[in-house]
Structure 1
Amino acid sequence: MKILLFLLTILFAVWLWRRNRLNALNERKSKSAETHPAPTPPTSEPSPMQACTQCGVHMPAADMVQGQRGIYCSQVHCQAASDTRV
């Protein structure tokens, strides 16, 4: 009878421990969801990638610099291309 009472006490303690642990995990998840909102998907379409005429680096077309002889990854490359006359 003593062993049965001892086992029931142990089982009850384990049950309490697990219940408290799960409650704490759920609270942490809900707090992190409140402080870190879900990322919103981008509303615009991605810009197509294009290669720099000078060095060949691919970048989004919206970030490229338009020059007289093509498109460039930076203003420096655009100026370098216009300085070298062939």
Structure 2
Amino acid sequence: MKYLLVMGLVLVVFWIWRHNREAERDAAAAARPPAPPQRETAVTEIVACEVCGVHLPKSEALIGNRGIYCSDAHRRQAGGQGL
């Protein structure tokens, strides 16, 4: 009977200890600031000028009949007049 009483007491103490740990963990999670939202990064395609080989975003490049250029002067120099 004595062992049963000791075993019951140990189980109650263990249950109280575990319950308190879960409550502390929940309180710490609630106190933490929320994670910042994930930003989606836009992927920009990079192209090279046909004349000088400089790399630039495709959105800033000039497209001619014979390729992609970094400036209007290079587009005219290469003979790629049209758009």
**Coarse TM-score class (shorter-chain normalised):** 0.5 to 0.7
Where do 1:1-86 residues align within 5 Å? Answer: 1-32=1-32, 35-39=33-37, 42=40, 46-53=42-49, 54=53, 56=55, 61=58, 70-71=69-70
Which amino acid counterpart does residue 39 of structure 1 have in structure 2? P
For 1:19 and 1:27, how far apart are their aligned partners in 2? Answer: 12
Percent of pairs identical after alignment? 18
Unaligned runs of 5+ in 2: 63-67, 78-83
Structure 2 vs 1, CA of residues 26 and 52 (structure 1 numbering), >3 Å: closer, same or farther? Answer: farther
State the Cα RMSD in Å.
Answer: 3.7
Q: TM-score, normalised by structure 1?
A: 0.51
Kept in 2: contact 1:50–1:61 (CA 8 A): yes
For 1:18 and 1:60, how far apart are their aligned partners in 2? Answer: 57
Unaligned runs of 5+ in 1: 72-77
The count of residues paired between Structure 1 and Structure 2 equals 67
Structure 2 vs 1, CA of residues 47 and 61 (structure 1 numbering), >3 Å: closer, same or farther? Answer: farther
Runs of 4+ in 1 over 6 A off after TM superposition: none
Based on CA coordinates, which of the two structures has the bigger radius of gyration? 2
Q: TM-score, normalised by structure 2?
A: 0.52
